[in-house]
Amino acid sequence: MPTISYKDHSFSLEANETVLDCLLREGQSVSYSCRTGVCQSCLMKAAQGTPSAEAQAGLRDTLKLQGYFMACKWKPADNVTVCGAEDLTFQATLVGKELLSETVLKVLLQSNSPFSYQSGQYLTLIRPDGLARSYSIASLPRESMIELHVRIIPNGQMSSWLLDEAQPGTPLTFRGPFGTCFYLPDRPEQPLLLVGTGTGLAPLYGIARDALTQNHKGPIWLFHGALTGKGLYLVNQLRELAARFPQFQYQPTLLHEDEQLEYPVLTGSLDTIVMSQFPQLKSMRAFLCGDPDIVNRLRKKFFLAGLSLRDIYADAFVPSSPT
């Protein structure tokens, strides 16, 4: 009789029983709704064991890759370990930090144990006192350190602490990885459109480099939007990347004119600029990160322009509520 390991407990599965039914029968608190594998409310993650195709039917490819499944549809035949998305925790050390611009701090972490992630996903960083904030991962999985881009918020508890007080060697905790916004190598010729605002560039920087590292051949366009020139960062690195890889194109955009810049930018609303550059979107895959209003507006516009939601990956950065 197979068992389910969940939150340090072990439960025996009854004959023909789903993961959801077993956990509910054992009094565990898990969310669910339709129980027919459609609404995805009962989404969980398999840490050990391979979910059935039925349990993953309709899920995004990036969720399937991470072992997510619908608990109402998986009847494991062998022992499995499952968890909710919020359950994985890691110990880490702050290794370094560097200002990338007036408003963006690069933070480098070293995890104390192997941390498996995809560029573009995010983690929740937890200070020793328990304060938590989420940041996208800009590094590649093959790199030894995890790279985060932290927007410095005046009076922001985490960003001010990271900027002013945290030093190399400071121990930290993080949970993750989370998110479905990352590159898949299944269609190497597919055009990729990456659009971000502010530190929405962090996941896009990771995704672009990940795609290029995996020999993506189709064109990759990266649009980074900011209010003024001061909001742009990694400009030189991205221009170098564009010089090295003919299939990669980088386009910074500004909402307001800025005559001090030494490189070409487009001026105007980011969503208007992107839509005017790409009259034809079908067959593309889009990654949208950053300001929620712009991310949601573009996602809707892309969808209405004919792009399938399956090919639109969005990560809206919702700010933490003041506490």
Partner 1 sequence: MSNLYQELGGQAAVDAAVELFYRKVLVDDRISHFFDGVDMDHQIAKQKAFLTMAFGGPHNYSGLDMRKGHAHLVERGLNDTHFDAVVENLGATLTELGVSQELINQVAAIAESTRADVLSR
Q: Which residues bind partner 1 (CB under 8 A)?
A: 33-36, 38-40, 57-58, 60, 296, 299-300, 303-304, 308-309, 312, 314
Nearer to partner 1, 18 or 139 (CB): 18
Query: Minimum CB separation from partner 1 for residue 138, in Å?
Result: 23
Nearer to partner 1, 38 or 131 (CB): 38
Nearer to partner 1, 245 or 303 (CB): 303
Nearer to partner 1, 108 or 312 (CB): 312
Query: Minimum CB separation from partner 1 for residue 201, in Å?
Result: 22
Query: Minimum CB separation from partner 1 for residue 208, in Å?
Result: 23
Nearer to partner 1, 78 or 86 (CB): 86
Query: Minimum CB separation from partner 1 for residue 40, in Å?
Result: 5
Query: Minimum CB separation from partner 1 for residue 37, in Å?
Result: 9
Query: Minimum CB separation from partner 1 for residue 311, in Å?
Result: 11
Nearer to partner 1, 44 or 107 (CB): 44
Nearer to partner 1, 20 or 274 (CB): 20
Query: Minimum CB separation from partner 1 for residue 22, in Å?
Result: 18
Tell me the CA distances in angstroms from 276 to 270, 273, 302, one per residue in order: 10, 5, 12
